[in-house]
Amino acid sequence: MSPVTEDRQKVLDLLRKSDVPLTPQQVAGRVFGRTSDKRIREITGILNELKTCSHAFEFPPERRGRRVRFGHVPPADWLGARIMGMLREAGGRLTLGQVRKNLRKWENGYFDEAIGKLVKEERLFSLTLKCKYFLSSRPSPFDHLLQRQVSALREILERINRHRSGKLSLEGLKAFLNGAAVTGVPPPVQDSGQPSEALLGEWYRKDLPKRGGLSSIPVSWTWAHYESWCLSVNARPDLGRFQDFMRDLHRAGKIEFIPHSMTQELPAREAELSLRGQHGEVLYYWKWR
């Protein structure tokens, strides 16, 4: 392999391994260990060659007056991956405003293209309620209800259940609205469900691959498993009992809670499901110790 070809391969390998686009000066420093004007010119030539054959892609300067940068994927694809990472960190749900707030100025120029590609590939889903949300999984029909509509359903069920022998639960109605088959009147709901460590471990293992290498799980995800489990054993989901169970495990040193960094814009329901710390912080995530 000639020195020129070898340098070209080193540059390409560096771009592929880098999580961020790099300037010619940064590439020169990492490939040659120095950033003389001669080396920067050589690297700029190599980067332009790679760009011509679509092995490298030009990114705008991070700030005005800085050099252009290069990456191994187009800017819109790079931004799409960053948005999906933001969603994973937030538990799979963010408002449009939350996403926009975390974008750098140059990224706004690629935002519509990045979102369009993610939606087309069905890696990203949108949901419009009082504001627009981006989700990492397809929303269910029930998800399209506003909070006031869910509250109205609770009031309707409470009134109807006074005159029924077999109680209807919100979870059962939710399953029906989401398309579950109805096979007659469900049996009366028994006592509230008490989860176990074994179940918690099973739910944790199911959710862990969706977190992209992170070890913490949103409490709301675990609650969703608990709700489904209660429905399957004809028990009543009890948020207080669920949260007490999680607190007991935390006191025993078996699990750890992690607060959310953007609690002010969390949906009301997700904030309600999360626990509270000693100073009022929203303990949105949990993991095994």
Look-up of token digits 């009890």:
238
- Regarding whether 252 and 277 lie in a shared domain, the answer is yes
| 125 shares its domain with 211 | no
For residue range 259-278, list pLDDT tens digits in order: 887 766 667 777 788 888 88
Higher model confidence: residue 191 or residue 188? 191
Range of the domain at 27: 3-71
Residue scoring higher pLDDT (186 or 88):
88
Query: What pLDDT sits at residue 271?
Result: 75
CA end-to-end span of the chain: 50
- The torsion angles phi and psi of 249, rounded to 5 degrees, stand at -65, -35
Residues 102 and 154 occupy one common structural domain: no
Residues 7-26: b if buried by 16+ CB within 10 A, e if exposed: bbebbbebbeebeebbbbbb
Residue 273 shares a structural domain with residue 200: yes
CA angle at residue 107 from 102 to 108, to 5 degrees? Answer: 85
Residues 204, 111 share a domain: no
Q: Kindly report, residue by residue over 190-213, the tens digit of the pLDDT.
A: 567 788 899 999 999 998 888 888
Query: Helix (H, G, I), strand (E, B), or coil: what is residue 168?
Result: coil
Radius of gyration of the chain (CA): 25
Q: In the predicted model, what is the mean pLDDT of residues 6-27?
A: 90
**How confident is the model over 203-242, as pLDDT tens digits?**
999 988 888 888 899 898 998 889 888 888 888 888 888 9
Overall size of the chain counted in residues:
289
CATH number, domain of 63, equals 1.10.10.10
- 194 and 288 share a domain? yes
Q: From CA 282, how far away is CA 289, in angstroms rounded?
A: 19
Would the CA dihedral through 192, 197, 199, 204 be positive or negative? Answer: positive
- Asked whether residue 134 falls in the same domain as residue 148, the answer is no
How far is residue 52's CA from residue 162's CA, in Å, rounded to a whole number?
72
Domains in the chain, number: 4
Portion of the chain with pLDDT greater than 90, in percent = 33
Nearest to 124 by CA among 76, 179, 81, 74: 81
For 242-253, what is the mean pLDDT?
91
**Using 50, 70 and 90 to split pLDDT, how confident is the model at 39?**
confident
pLDDT for position 286: 92
- Residues 50-76 have pLDDT tens digits of 999 999 999 998 877 788 999 999 999
Q: Does pLDDT of 106 surpass 80?
A: yes
Greater pLDDT, 77 or 280: 77
The confidence score (pLDDT) of residue 190 equals 57
Together in a domain, 135 and 210 = no
Instruction: Give the 3-state secondary structure percentages of the chain, helix then strand then coil, rounded to 5.
Output: 55, 10, 35
Same domain, 219 and 278: yes
Q: What mean pLDDT is predicted for residues 36-43?
A: 88
Across the range 120-130, mean pLDDT stands at: 89
Verify that 86 and 14 share a domain, yes or no: no
Q: What is the CATH number of the domain that holds 253?
A: 1.10.10
Q: Distance (Å, rounded) from C-alpha 209 to C-alpha 102?
A: 25
Within 10 Å of residue 102's Cβ, how many Cβ atoms?
14
Asked if 183 and 267 touch (Cβ cutoff 8 Å), the reply is no
Same domain flag for 288 and 195? yes
The last residue of one of the domains, among 188, 209, 226, is: 188
Could you give the residue ranges of the DSSP H alpha helices within the chain?
3-17, 24-32, 37-52, 75-89, 96-101, 111-120, 147-161, 170-177, 197-207, 219-232, 239-251, 268-273
Does residue 238 share a domain with residue 205?
yes
Instruction: Please compute, for residue 204, the number of CA atoms within 13 A of its CA located in the half-sphere on the CB side.
Output: 17
